[in-house]
Amino acid sequence: MLVYVTCGGCPLTWHGLSISAFNDLWQFFKLSASSGVMMCLESWYYKVLMLLTGNLDDVTIAVDALSICINISNWELMIPTGFFAGIGVRVANELGAGNGKNAKFATIVSVVTSLIIGFIFFLMILLFNDKIALLFTKSEQVLDNVQNLKFLLAFTILLNSIQPVLSGVAVGSGWQSTVAFVNIGSYYIIGVPFGVFLGLVFNFGIKGIWGGMLCGTFVQTLVLSYMTSKCDWDKEAREVSNHGEKQSLIEK
38-66 pLDDT, tens digit per residue, is: 888 888 887 888 888 888 877 888 889 98
Note the pLDDT of residue 220: 94
Q: What pLDDT score was predicted for residue 91? A: 95
The low-confidence residues of the chain, meaning pLDDT below 50, are 249
pLDDT of residue 248: 54
Q: What is the reported pLDDT for 164?
A: 93
Answer for the pair 46, 71: CB distance below 8 angstroms, yes or no: no
Q: CA 131, CA 178: separation in Å to the nearest integer?
A: 41
CA nearest neighbour of 62 among 213, 214, 210? 210
List of residues 6+ apart from 149 with CB closer than 8 A: 65, 66, 69, 206, 207, 210
What 8-state DSSP symbol labels residue 19? G
For position 85, what pLDDT does the model report? 94
Predicted structure pTM score: 0.86
Q: Report how far residue 252's alpha carbon sits from residue 249's, in angstroms, rounded to the nearest whole number.
A: 5
pLDDT, residue 54, reads 84
Distance between CA 72 and CA 82 in Å, rounded? 17
Measure the CA–CA gap between 129 and 149, rounded to whole angstroms: 9
Q: Which residues of 145-155 are buried (b: 16+ CB within 10 A; e: fewer)?
A: bbeebbebbbb
Residue pair 209/66 in contact by the 8 Å Cβ criterion: no
The DSSP code for 8 is: I
- The C-alpha atoms of residue 158 and residue 118 are separated, in whole angstroms, by 5
**Cα 206 from Cα 157, distance rounded (Å):** 17
Alpha helices in 6-161 (DSSP H): 25-53, 59-96, 100-133, 140-148, 150-160
Contact 42, 77 (CB under 8 A): no
Q: Give CA–CA dist 107/214, Å, rounded.
A: 24
For residue 50, how far is the Cα from the chain centroid?
19
pLDDT at 154: 96
